[in-house]
């Protein structure tokens, strides 16, 4: 479950989540949990323009699919993600698939961008640039996201990694958020559309996740 609360210029994000490994490889899930918590704190505990953002994140490690909770965010380690991407998120949904090939780098904090980026998709943020086009605007994104400047797009958390690399910006400096993105959280059309349970909707008793 993702909840967003606003008190003047203070924004609080509260996320309840589960972590499960359904891949064919073994990982230290406690180490992964520790990295996830640290990486999210770095990005989501900060001042963004006139807003002060704070995150509360509770993550539970699961050993069985049957223990999955339908109203929680689910981090699921899988054997593959299309395009061998590090991860894939249900837009405005409740699941982030983690590609097992990239999990070691996340645990080692060599990749500190993927987890915060995918959480951003669960919050309803799009890529602010067009697909495979540098110095472009994503015309399918919300108008508030389209208004980002080119400099903001190059340094933005929600831009894909290749976009920052194309601009010559180190990935650890391309993790910024904008006031527009924070304001987007409070628009009624987005706020009531978060927490869409796509990953467990069709599976009776949560016995299967694909």
Pairing of strands 95-99, 73-78: parallel
C-alpha atoms less than 13 angstroms from C-alpha of 80 in its C-beta half-sphere: 3
Query: What is the pLDDT at residue 37?
Result: 97
Write out pLDDT tens, residues 107-123: 999 999 999 999 999 99
d(CA 65, CA 34): 21
**2-195 classified as CATH 3.40.390:** yes
Write out pLDDT tens, residues 154-180: 999 999 999 999 999 999 999 999 999
């Amino acid at each position: 479950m993702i909840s967003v609360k606003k008190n003047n210029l203070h924004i609080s994000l509260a996320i309840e989540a589960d972590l499960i490994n359904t891949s064919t490889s073994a990982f230290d899930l406690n180490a992964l949990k520790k990295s996830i918590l640290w990486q999210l704190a770095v990005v989501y505990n900060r001042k963004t323009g006139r807003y002060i953002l704070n995150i509360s994140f509770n993550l539970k490690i699961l050993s069985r699919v049957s223990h999955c909770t339908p109203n929680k965010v689910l981090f699921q380690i899988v054997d593959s993600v299309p395009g061998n991407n590090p991860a894939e998120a249900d837009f405005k949904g409740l699941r982030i698939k983690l590609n097992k090939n990239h999990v070691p780098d996340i645990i080692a904090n060599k990749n500190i961008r993927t987890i915060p980026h995918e959480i951003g998709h669960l919050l309803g943020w799009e890529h602010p640039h067009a697909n495979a086009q540098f110095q472009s605007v994503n015309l399918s994104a919300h108008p508030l996201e389209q208004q980002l400047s080119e400099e903001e797009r190059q340094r933005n958390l929600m831009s894909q990694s290749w976009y920052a690399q194309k601009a010559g910006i180190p990935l650890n400096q391309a993790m910024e958020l904008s006031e527009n993105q924070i304001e987007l959280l409070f628009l009624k059309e987005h706020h009531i559309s978060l927490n869409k349970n796509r990953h467990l909707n069709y599976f009776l008793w949560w016995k299967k996740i694909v």
